[in-house]
Structure 1
């Protein structure tokens, strides 16, 4: 892994969107078209909130295994609460990922029309303040995601707020990830090669080495190394499908560290930005051309698409 070359993914500033929205949209779109990834600085999530979230994430995963497993819902697809170590497997992989995680979803008011398809959150008794911290962080990710979607819409020639209707009360998930220390001869990797399911993923915590993307031009794995505090953003399969592959979803993985780092934990916080369950994923008219014919003539709802993929990665049993 130490010899893996770095992907030359440009670092963009979200502040540019306020002064040069078209310039920002063009750079974001070009980075996505080339890599399926972008690096975004000045994302607007407060440093003190992020620091609090990291502290509580570490305390959460330090809880006794028996206590954490009280928050696991067998058969729940990992939608909320705790998912134990060695549960998730990348599509078509032979061994499970070396990770455990916790999911926080959108807080819906009682009687909401999506209550039947979006599970209520599960909140641990400790660490203290966990619920308030992650409700606040979820909201901050939501705001940053809306701004990025606005840039994507502009890049695609759509109205700036086109995605608003798609993601209003969307089924987004904040994942708190812990990759525990592993032995030198561990079977598998921390996260096998995969593509994300959702529209876009916003990731904090990629400064620790390990995240790699599969470059479509060269066929080589390239390391993604953001500046400290910057956010890594990547296209998910729902956006790839919606744009008829104009914006591609790129295969990526988290490889094991070199031997001297295997005794250390790795933490990250991806925010999987999803549309509402009943949003119809249908190829955008402007992305279907003679050179790029429609790959997906049959539309599918976001809920049905998500269910199909959760079966594939082992979080829901057939």
Structure 2
């Protein structure tokens, strides 16, 4: 494959074996794939983006009402210039908001998954954000079902391992870049922490994916295509059968840099107490177990949040 493919997920129902084979091949090579035919309505996506833009347009002091210092940005607002890609000298040029799972009363996961914060200044924010959260959660579960089948597991293998996952919807605002020759980029080269990431409706070009040859490949999807990539937790679980690919968001040239950029990734996580232990079917003589010591997904998450300066 000379470029990152896009596949219609409706084929998971109509042409399952071929779809699973093609999807698995795409992820083995790229760690990325575009997913179309997902059924998430443009009205929901557009409404969510309008609500997110309205929040980011609020005065800085108002936005900071929803910032919780010391929380690692688990819920609510994280101001501009805090998150820093691992091993990068410079903070990313972005601000963002985190929406998490709404837990039932008495959930054992409440100790590590705090309640959501909803900005009262933008009444539509809660409705659109959580409806989009649930839609992307359901789509992510379908993608995981196909990936499970590709490596010889049952289609429902991940169902009870992600049903209470510490998954995050992250509306991001990359403000206009008003200075030339700055060392920072909008998002430095990194890999995601979670199982899979679903990126919906990026408003401008800028996403680049590092190929296995080491080249940076731009990936701007069609308007109705959601970009889905592998994160480090699934790479670890699958013993690198599914690679977590380095990617970045570069600053556009010229006048395009003077425009803001918005994007909304959904980071699908396993349940906090899920033990990331290498799948036996992904261990072989040619691919020995790289991770003989298992770790819970919450412990792994906290390790990584420290690395990117969120905690």
2:296 counterpart residue number: 301
Maintained 8 Å contact 1:206/1:232: no
Q: Say whether 1:195 aligns with 2:174.
A: no
Q: Say whether 1:182 aligns with 2:193.
A: no
Maintained 8 Å contact 2:209/2:248: yes
1:153 counterpart residue number: 148
SS in 1 for 2:98: strand
Aligned pairs (5 A) from 1:302-317 = 302-316=297-311
2:201 counterpart residue number: 205
User: Gaps (5+ residues) in structure 2?
Assistant: none
Q: Say whether 1:82 aligns with 2:77.
A: yes
Aligned pairs (5 A) from 1:266-285 = 266-285=261-280
1:3 counterpart residue number: none
Distance of aligned partners of 1:185 and 1:7 in 2 relative to their CA distance in 1, 3 Å threshold: farther
Listed one character per residue, the Cα deviations across residues 135-158 of structure 1 (whole Å, up to 9, x for unaligned) are: 111110111011101000111110
- Once residues 168 and 128 of structure 1 are traced to their aligned partners in structure 2, the CA distance between those partners, rounded to angstroms, is 28
**What is the deviation of 1:129?**
1.8
Q: 2:164 is matched with which residue: 157, 166, 169?
A: 169
Q: Say whether 1:234 aligns with 2:216.
A: no
Count of equivalent residues: 310
1:46 counterpart residue number: 41
Q: Which runs of 4+ in 1 moved over 3 A?
A: none
- Once residues 165 and 282 of structure 1 are traced to their aligned partners in structure 2, the CA distance between those partners, rounded to angstroms, is 16
Aligned pairs (5 A) from 1:90-109 = 90-109=85-104
2:26 counterpart residue number: 31
- Once residues 216 and 195 of structure 2 are traced to their aligned partners in structure 1, the CA distance between those partners, rounded to angstroms, is 23
Maintained 8 Å contact 1:124/1:130: yes
SS in 1 for 2:300: helix
Listed one character per residue, the Cα deviations across residues 188-244 of structure 1 (whole Å, up to 9, x for unaligned) are: 10000000000000001336110001111x211110121122000100000000000
TM-score, normalization by structure 1: 0.96
TM-score, normalization by structure 2: 0.98
Distance of aligned partners of 1:211 and 1:7 in 2 relative to their CA distance in 1, 3 Å threshold: farther
SS in 2 for 1:98: coil
- Once residues 221 and 145 of structure 1 are traced to their aligned partners in structure 2, the CA distance between those partners, rounded to angstroms, is 26
SS in 1 for 2:265: strand
Q: Cα RMSD between the aligned structures?
A: 1.1
- Once residues 203 and 37 of structure 2 are traced to their aligned partners in structure 1, the CA distance between those partners, rounded to angstroms, is 16
User: Gaps (5+ residues) in structure 1?
Assistant: 1-5
- Once residues 235 and 190 of structure 2 are traced to their aligned partners in structure 1, the CA distance between those partners, rounded to angstroms, is 14
